[in-house]
Amino acid sequence: MPVEILMPALSPTMTEGKLARWLKKEGEKVASGDVLAEIETDKATMELESVNDGVLGKILVPAGGDAVAVNKPIALILEEGEDASAATSPKAQTNGAAKEAAKPAEAPKVEAPAATPAPAPAAPKAAVPQTEPELGETKTMTVREALRDAMAEEMRRDPDVFLMGEEVAQYHGAYKISQGLLEEFGEKRVVDTPITEMGFTGLGVGASVMGLKPIVEFMTFNFAMQAIDQIINSAAKTLYMSGGQIHCPIVFRGPNGAAARVAAQHSQEYSSWYAHIPGLKVVAPYSASDAKGLLKSAIRDPNPVIFLENEILYGHSFPVPTDPDYLVPIGKAKVVRPGSHVTITAFSRMVEYALAAAETLKGEGIEAEVIDLRSLRPFDIETVVASVKKTNRIVSAEEGWQFAGIGSEISALVMEQAFDYLDAPVARVTGVDVPMPYAANLEKLALPHADHIVAAAKSVLYRS
């Protein structure tokens, strides 16, 4: 039976092309792989190869034919001995399968996205517990110890959990987070890596798809920029790209943001970078109990979790529950100080400043409600909106840069969901829009402090 050669689409965007010239004549023999014709697309001149053996029976579009639509028959290939007149039969086979299938098969119309995207950042079901657990019996410990205990408890509980990173084993972590872990779990499960961020990040992702639960420590998140392709393109997207078959239960953790006097390349705050990515969960705790409870939830979570710590907070002490099953849900903010005049949101170290600011404001008769966001994706907008409905004013505090920062997102969400409740524009307290300077006085000027939050709170209250 004659085979119709159709005008091919030769690029992702081509809808028509020019038939520049024929390289075979009517009646000439063709073999699979022979070039039949040259076709000019919008980008280049391409060769059209035959995938059939036979004879070029009839040329339907002569050389020079311009604006030939994709899928229009341009020639007929006959089997040897076949007559070209058979070619006129409308039943001729096409060189692909059924032609009508070229039309998108009963494409169900995708509804245009609503003007206000319904559930903000693809709301995944929250991790393990849904509600805030009671603290119960506590003991005082540092954030550093809480993180170590979280890892140790989860490693005891699940033999598939292991820790890897630079200096995590023999050195006990550059910031001494993994003290005692090598001694308890051995070098199979506490793995010192070479200085090779992209390599060990990709390796961790590969191990996670096989069911292991790696905790990958970045000495600081500044170095994770070397590995961000593996975090986003491999860890965050594989579940979607595999149609739900392959998931990556992996935690990336380490200090984020400014330490002290380490200048531009070691002092960046990455919250909004990771919070931007569907497929990742992002947490940034402040207290030791949240650090422990959230890290345990992160390790048990079947999704990739970015766990942002803060170097300055490592040495801070807090009461921490002794219950080894104390888990804090990912995706829930926490009101850490109730108030009725103004809402202040903060996360990580900025919570400390927000609480200090609230204390100062109290002295001036202003009751600030402080929300520790804790999770940045999924984002607990409900808690923020509930607070704004009460206070009618909101200040967002973060250490990172302002443009496209977490405060920008909060501002948009509050406008979308509580516009009528606002008595003042949303105020943002952020780091200054410059790389971090080294000089002590300049560094201080570049970072947000409690005073900035006090000033912003007063401004949304129209007080000076």
Neighbours of 367 (CB within 10 A): 14
Nearer Cβ to another protein (275/344): 275
Q: Which of 247, 266, 276, 316 is catalytic?
A: 266
Nearer Cβ to another protein (280/453): 280
Q: Which of 2, 57, 73, 204 binds another protein (CB under 8 A)?
A: 204
Q: Give the separation between CA 1 and CA 83, rounded to whole angstroms.
A: 10
Nearer Cβ to another protein (95/360): 95
Contact region with another protein (CB under 8 A), list: 193-201, 400-408, 433-441, 442-450: 193-201
Q: Which amino acid is at 342?
A: V
Beta bridge partners of 47: 38
Contact region with another protein (CB under 8 A), list: 42-50, 255-263, 350-358, 418-426: 42-50
Q: Is 73 left (phi over 0), alpha (psi -120 to 50) or beta?
A: beta
Task: Give residues 137-166 in contact with another protein (rule: CB under 8 A).
Answer: 162
Q: Does 1 bind another protein (CB under 8 A)?
A: no
Q: Does 112 bind another protein (CB under 8 A)?
A: no
Q: Does 104 bind another protein (CB under 8 A)?
A: yes
Q: Does 279 bind another protein (CB under 8 A)?
A: yes
Task: Give residues 212-271 in contact with another protein (rule: CB under 8 A).
Answer: 212, 229-230, 233-234, 238-247
Q: Does 209 bind another protein (CB under 8 A)?
A: yes
Going by C-alpha positions, the residue among 325, 309, 293 that lies closest to residue 252 is 309
Nearer Cβ to another protein (200/221): 200
Q: Per-residue x/- mask for another protein, residues 321 to 350, rule CB under 8 A?
A: ---------x--------------------
- For the question of residue 266 being annotated catalytic, the response is yes
Q: Does 45 bind another protein (CB under 8 A)?
A: yes
CB of 379 to another protein, least distance (A): 14
Q: Does 120 bind another protein (CB under 8 A)?
A: no
Q: Which of 197, 217, 269, 369 is catalytic?
A: 197
Q: Torsions phi, psi of 36, nearest 5?
A: -90, -45
Q: Does 317 bind another protein (CB under 8 A)?
A: no
Structural contact between residues 257 and 399, judged by C-beta atoms closer than 8 angstroms: yes
Number of residues interacting with another protein: please give it, by CB under 8 A. Answer: 84
Nearer Cβ to another protein (4/311): 4
Question: Pairing state of beta strands 68-69 and 16-22?
Answer: antiparallel
CB of 432 to another protein, least distance (A): 33
Q: Which of 90, 91, 107, 139 binds another protein (CB under 8 A)?
A: 107
Task: Output the DSSP codes for 163-220.
Answer: EEETTSSTT--TTSTTTTHHHHH-TTTEEEPPS-HHHHHHHHHHHHHTT-EEEEEPSS
Q: Give the separation between CA 142 and CA 139, rounded to whole angstroms.
A: 10
Q: Give the separation between CA 340 and CA 128, rounded to whole angstroms.
A: 31
Contact region with another protein (CB under 8 A), list: 109-117, 170-178, 286-294, 404-412: 109-117
Going by C-alpha positions, the residue among 250, 252, 249 that lies closest to residue 223 is 252
Q: Does 80 bind another protein (CB under 8 A)?
A: no
Nearer Cβ to another protein (101/415): 101
Going by C-alpha positions, the residue among 301, 178, 286, 203 that lies closest to residue 250 is 301
Nearer Cβ to another protein (201/348): 201
Structural contact between residues 50 and 32, judged by C-beta atoms closer than 8 angstroms: yes
Task: Give residues 395-424 in contact with another protein (rule: CB under 8 A).
Answer: none
Nearer Cβ to another protein (216/461): 216
32 vs 10, 23, 36, 48, 83, CA distance in Å?
18, 14, 10, 11, 20
Task: Give residues 48-77 in contact with another protein (rule: CB under 8 A).
Answer: 51, 70-71
Q: Does 12 bind another protein (CB under 8 A)?
A: yes
- For the question of residue 134 being annotated catalytic, the response is no
Task: Output the DSSP codes for 397-457.
Answer: EEEEESTT-HHHHHHHHHHHHHGGG-SS--EEEEE-SSPPP-SHHHHHHHS--HHHHHHHH
Q: Does 35 bind another protein (CB under 8 A)?
A: yes
Q: Give the separation between CA 110 and CA 438, rounded to whole angstroms.
A: 52
Question: Pairing state of beta strands 54-59 and 29-30?
Answer: antiparallel
323 three-state secondary structure: coil
Active-site positions?
197, 266
